[in-house]
Amino acid sequence: MFETLTVPTNHRTELLDLTSQVQQVVHKSGVSEGLCHVFVPHTTAAVTINESADPAVKADILMVLNKIISDQEPYRHQEGNSPAHLKSSIIGCQITVLVSKGRLVLGTWQGIFFCEFDGPRSRRLHVKVVAG
Ligand code: ZN
C-alpha cells in the first residue's frame, strides 16, 4: 500500500514545500527505520529536494528553468505545454529519502518540493514508506 496526497496548485509554475505532509505519511506508517519513496504521477510536474529556508531559492530555480526552456521553440507537441514536459523530465518525477527514528533524514536546509509546471490544477503525490 501507499498513500496519495492531493496537491492543489495555484499558479502556472510554482514550487510547493510538502516536507511536513510527507513527514506525516512517514509518521502514520509507523516505520522507524527505512526508506520513503515519493513519486509524481504526472508528465508536467516533478519533485525535488532543495533549500526550504529561503523562498528566494525556489524563485531562482523557476526563473532559470523558465529562461532556459523557452515558450518560443517550434515545439511539435500540439497541446501547447511542451515546456512543462521538458521541465518535468529535467527535474524528475521521484525521490527517495532515508527514514531514521521515524523522521525523514534531510539536511538542515533541505525540503521536499512539488514542482508545478503547467498549473493551476489538482495534482497527486504518491508516498510509499518501506521498513528496513
Ligand atoms: Zn502535453
pLDDT at 96: 98
pLDDT at 32: 98
Cα of 39 vs centre of ligand 1, distance in Å, is 19
Cα of 79 vs centre of ligand 1, distance in Å, is 5
**In 19-109, alpha helices (H):** 19-29, 55-68, 82-91
pTM of the model: 0.96
Cα of 6 vs centre of ligand 1, distance in Å, is 21
pLDDT tens, residue by residue, 40-60? 999 999 999 999 999 999 999
Cα of 17 vs centre of ligand 1, distance in Å, is 24
Low-confidence ranges of the chain (pLDDT < 50): none
Domain 2-131, CATH among 1.10.1200.10, 3.40.50.300, 3.60.10.10, 2.60.120.460: 2.60.120.460
The terminus-to-terminus CA distance of the chain in angstroms comes to: 16
Cα of 49 vs centre of ligand 1, distance in Å, is 25
The number of beta carbons lying within 10 Å of the beta carbon of residue 10 is 10
pLDDT at 83: 98
Nearest residue to 119 via CA among 6, 10, 7: 10
